[in-house]
Amino acid sequence: MRSPMPLASTLGLGLFVTVAAAGLAQRGATSQTPAPGAPSDATARIVGAAQSVLTALDEAGRAKVQFPFEGPQKTRWSNLPSPMFQREGLRLGDLTPAQRTAVTTLLSTALSRDGYRKAVDIMRGDEALRKTQTAGRAGAPAGGRGGGVRFGEDEYFLAFLGTPSVTAPWMLQFGGHHLAINLTMAGSQASMAPSLPAAQPASYTFEGRTVRPLGQENDKAFALINALNDAQRKQAILGYRVSDLVLGPTQDGRTIQPEGIPASALLAPQQTMLLDLVKEWTGIMTDAFAEPRLAEIRTNLPQTYFAWSGPTTNGSAAYFRIQGPALVIEYAPQGSVDHIHTIYRDPTNDYGAKFTRK
């Protein structure tokens, strides 16, 4: 009866020393001046850029852009164009050039270089789609403001939920047809879940170059499924069609049973490919927030699943899902390779729930 006690005492003491040492080490680290890429710096830069937007607006503009942090606006986002989905906030098409520049600067500050490029490519693609429709239907309301479906570069909306702050929680919401970014910040912490980057057309020409807004996502996923051996592929490929996002807009707070192959059954290079694919979504945030987020996903990698539905030849329309304890990514072609919807979620931290919970 006595013998377990000294062992437990030793264990407890060892653990205490380890925890105390780790705590001291952490205190030592945090007492230093934050590195230039520190999350707190990123928050300060984003808040500064958001305040510049507010300064550039008149009273009416400020009223349009500002929402309470806790309210229905938080979950009001969609992939759909207007008026199929009626957005609130500041419409880009209603802004002066100076105001629009301030919004652009805010987005380029809040997002990484690749993330900003992706957002711009999605919006330009939407504009290309609008022009195609307008050219094909002279006088038709599509893409215009005449009561029909409206989309294109002017039809993106910005909203602030809560007051931009370096300490208190607030949210930057930006979206329109095929794009929804919900970036919640609270001091040095940030979550970009849920967000919805999508694309139609999936490939177009802009100033003489071919643009594929979600091309990396597509190509890296096909590379990964083709890097699996037969047994792994059998585990990863679902035997049924997935025609749409399972956890798209309005599906907050739901966790489906994971399927596919667990990353623990992947070889190290395949795991690296999976993380590199995940980075296409986590890396939309500015690097200071994206890096800790990817580290969290890396920690959960053994419990993270990769599932595939559809052909495995690049150029085909195939659905895939990456799901872990704190991650859901879905990539869902809408009937063709030229129209893609994706969703990025963190079941533990959508809308920053983890660090804004009272």
Binding residues (CB under 8 A) for other proteins: these are 4-5, 8-9, 11-13, 15-16, 78, 80-81, 83-85, 129, 132-133, 136-137, 140-143, 147-149, 151, 177, 200, 238-244, 246, 250, 254-257, 259, 334-336, 338-339
Q: Pick the closer one to other proteins by CB: 82 or 99.
A: 82
Q: In angstroms, how far is CA 1 from the centroid of its own chain?
A: 55
Query: In angstroms, how far is the first alpha carbon of the chain from the final one?
Result: 45
- Alpha-carbon distance of 68 to 117, in angstroms, equals 29
Q: Pick the closer one to other proteins by CB: 26 or 243.
A: 243
CA distances from 105 to 15, 45, 113 (A): 48, 11, 12
In the complex, what is the shortest distance from the CB of residue 241 to other proteins, in angstroms, rounded to a whole number?
6
- Alpha-carbon distance of 261 to 54, in angstroms, equals 47
In the complex, what is the shortest distance from the CB of residue 244 to other proteins, in angstroms, rounded to a whole number?
6
Q: Pick the closer one to other proteins by CB: 149 or 221.
A: 149
Q: Which residue has the tokens 């990769």?
A: 306
Q: Pick the closer one to other proteins by CB: 177 or 293.
A: 177
Q: Pick the closer one to other proteins by CB: 7 or 98.
A: 7
In the complex, what is the shortest distance from the CB of residue 195 to other proteins, in angstroms, rounded to a whole number?
19
Q: Pick the closer one to other proteins by CB: 84 or 267.
A: 84
In the complex, what is the shortest distance from the CB of residue 277 to other proteins, in angstroms, rounded to a whole number?
22
Residue 252 in contact with residue 246, Cβ under 8 Å? no
- Alpha-carbon distance of 169 to 329, in angstroms, equals 25
Residue 189 in contact with residue 175, Cβ under 8 Å? no
In the complex, what is the shortest distance from the CB of residue 79 to other proteins, in angstroms, rounded to a whole number?
8
301's CB contacts (< 8 A; 6+ apart) are 263, 264, 271, 274, 275, 324
Residue 235 in contact with residue 261, Cβ under 8 Å? yes
In the complex, what is the shortest distance from the CB of residue 301 to other proteins, in angstroms, rounded to a whole number?
19
